[in-house]
Amino acid sequence: MKLTTEQLRKIIKEELEGVLSEKDDRCTRIAKRKYDVWPSAYASGAVVKCRQGKIWKDVKEEDAKLYEDELITEEELTDEEKAELRKILKDEGGAAGMKNFKDKIDKPEKDIKKAAEEDPKIYQHRHSDYILKEQELEEAEYRGRKVPLNKPMRGDVKKFKVYVKDPKTGNIKKVNFGHGGTSAKKKGEKTMKIRKNNPKARKNFRARHNCDNPGPKTKARYWSCKKW
């Protein structure tokens, strides 16, 4: 039987409530003061660490709110979660937003951001997306030849082309995008120049194509938005 996301969340919440209600001790009371959401995965994890003597040893219950920064350091991403950041970027075509990270990694946003900033293979674009440096991108075989994945290049049919792996089928797909190439020549049109350095033009393009939600990397809109 398959469970929906909402059903899984309900089960997890009920389990957390059961565990946390077993013992209303000092650690539980401090966690309740520190966290706005109770119960939660973060709060329960902190309670366990507190009971093990790893955190909050000298924290007084009445001063719990004054020690919020102490908890932040305890939410550092594990090595597996740090590796997951790169995997998410690869799966998203080399670029992803914080929402993509938070959907897969159950840690506070500030800790995910810190881990991404410390990773030498990841940098943040000025429009807030996180980018995986090219040397981390993979190669695959497309119609008998090796091609780089998720790396846009000058196109033929269109102005640009990029090879991606379809997550649904596992097949390598060529995505053509941008105004230009042979498709424009057939219509007697010239290749359009990208004016992404023009703030107004960039804003209009991104709004017109709903670039805040560009869709899957197997579609041209995703890559057009990435260019802008």
CATH code of the domain in which 112 resides: 1.10.10
Q: Name the nearest CA neighbour of 75 among 89, 55, 98.
A: 55
Q: Name the nearest CA neighbour of 217 among 151, 140, 157, 164.
A: 164
Backbone torsions φ then ψ of 132, nearest 5 degrees = -90, 125
- pLDDT computed for residue 16 by the predictor: 59
Total domains in the fold of the chain: 3
Q: Check whether residue 167 and residue 209 sit in a common domain.
A: yes
Q: Name the nearest CA neighbour of 114 among 150, 69, 77, 74.
A: 77
Q: Check whether residue 148 and residue 218 sit in a common domain.
A: yes
- pLDDT computed for residue 31 by the predictor: 81
- pLDDT computed for residue 66 by the predictor: 47
Q: Check whether residue 69 and residue 91 sit in a common domain.
A: no
Q: Check whether residue 201 and residue 125 sit in a common domain.
A: no
Regarding pTM above 0.85, the answer is: no
- pLDDT computed for residue 174 by the predictor: 92
> For residue 90, what are the domain limits?
79-134
Question: Average pLDDT per run of 10 along the chain, which is 228 residues long?
Answer: 66 59 74 74 80 78 52 67 88 79 86 88 76 69 85 84 87 84 58 66 81 85 80
CB neighbour list of residue 152: distance below 8 Å, 6 or more residues apart: 160, 161, 162, 223, 226, 227
174 DSSP β-pair partners: 163
Q: Check whether residue 197 and residue 217 sit in a common domain.
A: yes
89 close to 97: Cβ distance less than 8 angstroms: no
CA separation for the pair 54, 13 (Å, rounded):
24
